[in-house]
Structure 1
Amino acid sequence: MVGASPTPVLDPADRVIVALDGMDADRALAFAAALPRLRWVKVGLELFVAAGPPVLQRLRDQGQRVFLDLKFHDIPATMAGACRSAARLGAELITVHACAGTEALQAAQAAAQEGAATAGLPAPTLLAVTVLTSWEQRRFAEELAIAEPLQQYVPRLAQLAAQAGIGGCVCSPLEVAQLRAIHSEPFHLVTPGIRPAGAPLGDQQRVMTPAQAVAAGASQLVIGRPITAALDPAAALEACCAELAACS
């Protein structure tokens, strides 16, 4: 998919995925229920390991759509089995590591479609993780012995995923414009590392504001602590939505 096209116009609330990191099941469910504008939630390793698969159904019963961010990376048969099960649970976005390779990515994609079909659900979108946003170039080269610059390595993995039939990527917001110029919609670009202006960076190194990321071509944004740790999480979510509405 070469050449950019405009990102589809979405309700700003549909662009924001709130990460329920660091919560147990009861807190996650109560938190999600307390935000009227909340459409999407991210269930990551912490919550999934603590609460198990039932938390996905409970969130879906509350009306939330689920991004299951477990970053599957294994041999092809294991990745296929995991994605098949995740699709049966109703996850609509599922992460896999692009560096698992073509065979594993293709197996994961086929199994996710199969799992959703057997459960009578729409097929989820698999998202390939390129390089985690906590990495910066010097450590990336020194610790992993990968000399290729991030700005070249990330597109290499994104292209590998696209050729394997994966529906999108998770990437740093600073990489969105580059990837969008190569992969037009409907290739989905989901960006963590989103920080509203003035918010602490935390453990993220490569960040943008919500408006900047969408302007660069992001499909959806993952936002955690700037909303979940806010004194008024509902107001923080509304502020993000208002920022996105103003730039649409």
Structure 2
Amino acid sequence: MDPTRQIIIALDHANRQDAQAVIDRLGDACRFYKVGLELLTAAGPEFVRHLVAQGKEVFLDLKLFEIPNSVAGAVRAAGELGVSMVTVHGMGGTGIMSAAVDAARDCPGLRVLALTVVTSMTDADLADIGVPDTAEAQVLRLARLAERAGCHGVIASPREVAPLRALLGSDAVIVTPGVTLPGASPAEHARPGTPLAAVTDGASHVVVGRSITRAPDPLSALRRVRADLSPTTTPR
């Protein structure tokens, strides 16, 4: 896979100016960005249109969890923005995920991905909400539901990539937030892993945030992530 597409940079910023500064620093070295709820709320859908118009791909991380009709409307709106990926919450069940998939059919290139268990959650956190199984078991359960609903893939931590790839096969999109460089702090991620480990286990994309966007030199940090993915290749 093209490394400029395999690495998705998370623009977890509170305003458009800070996000744009990172994009300008990275230039053509990165083609894929994640826009989440914070930046979308602060900068609005016009910023997403701007990214798409600049030739960037956008992973719109909405984690949709609403009645099916509302989810379908949000997915159609995402498609009209030209984004490449949008997320729906797997905990919403088959009805919500199926509504999202159906709404995406008229949007060429839009992939619906089901969030399984967020990377900050532990087995104890799941027990708090009445889920007695481990995080991995819950991830696989929701992945099966997502597959049956027609989702193009799932979002999960690097720890679950290998069993997910075995379960879903070679065509599924598996996007992994929670990746950190060797020796770096995992921050709030409870189930982290390195970019290389995630891709080796079968991840199609890795999402990297502050280790690049808050680095003194984001471009050099991005090159280090690429070097981790291809340890025998000198980054360009």
Equivalent in the alignment of 1:231: 216
| 1:131 and 2:117 are equivalent in the alignment | yes
Equivalent position to 1:15, from 6, 9, 29: 6
Unaligned runs of 5+ in 2: none
Equivalent position to 1:106, from 98, 106, 111: 98
Distance of 2:32 and 2:158 partners within structure 1: 19
Deviation for aligned residue 1:167: 0.2
Distance of 1:247 and 1:215 partners within structure 2: 14
Give me the CA root mean square deviation: 1.3
Structure 2 residue identity aligned to 1:12: P
Equivalent in the alignment of 2:172: 187
What whole-Å deviation, never above 9, does each CA across 1:76-108 have from its counterpart, x for those lacking one?
101001101111101101000011111221111
Equivalent in the alignment of 1:222: 207
Equivalent in the alignment of 2:66: 74
What whole-Å deviation, never above 9, does each CA across 1:168-207 have from its counterpart, x for those lacking one?
0000100000110111121000000000011111111101
Matches within 5 A, 1:1-80: 10-36=1-27, 37-80=29-72
Deviation for aligned residue 1:29: 1.9
**SS state of the match for residue 26, structure 2?**
coil
Deviation for aligned residue 1:123: 3.0
Structure 1 residue identity aligned to 2:100: A
Residues 247 and 183 from structure 1, CA distance in 2 versus in 1: closer, same or farther, beyond 3 angstroms?
A: farther
What whole-Å deviation, never above 9, does each CA across 1:125-173 have from its counterpart, x for those lacking one?
11100011100112221x2021122221110100000010000000010
Is contact 1:95–1:126 with CA below 8 Å preserved after alignment?
yes
Equivalent in the alignment of 2:79: 87
Deviation for aligned residue 1:247: 6.6
Is contact 2:181–2:228 with CA below 8 Å preserved after alignment?
no
**SS state of the match for residue 145, structure 2?**
helix
- Runs (4 or more) in structure 1 with deviation over 2 Å come to 245-248
Structure 2 residue identity aligned to 1:149: T
What whole-Å deviation, never above 9, does each CA across 1:109-130 have from its counterpart, x for those lacking one?
111222x2xxxxx231111000
Is contact 2:126–2:133 with CA below 8 Å preserved after alignment?
no
**SS state of the match for residue 153, structure 1?**
helix
**SS state of the match for residue 79, structure 1?**
helix
**SS state of the match for residue 158, structure 1?**
helix
Is contact 2:52–2:83 with CA below 8 Å preserved after alignment?
no
Relative to the length of structure 1, the TM-score reads 0.90
Distance of 1:30 and 1:90 partners within structure 2: 22
Residues 79 and 47 from structure 1, CA distance in 2 versus in 1: closer, same or farther, beyond 3 angstroms?
A: same
Q: Percent identity between the aligned chains?
A: 42
* Count of residue correspondences: 232
Structure 1 residue identity aligned to 2:125: R
Distance of 1:61 and 1:77 partners within structure 2: 29
Is contact 1:84–1:113 with CA below 8 Å preserved after alignment?
no
| 1:149 and 2:134 are equivalent in the alignment | yes
Equivalent in the alignment of 1:212: 197
Relative to the length of structure 2, the TM-score reads 0.95
Is contact 1:68–1:91 with CA below 8 Å preserved after alignment?
yes
Distance of 1:235 and 1:103 partners within structure 2: 44
**SS state of the match for residue 236, structure 1?**
helix
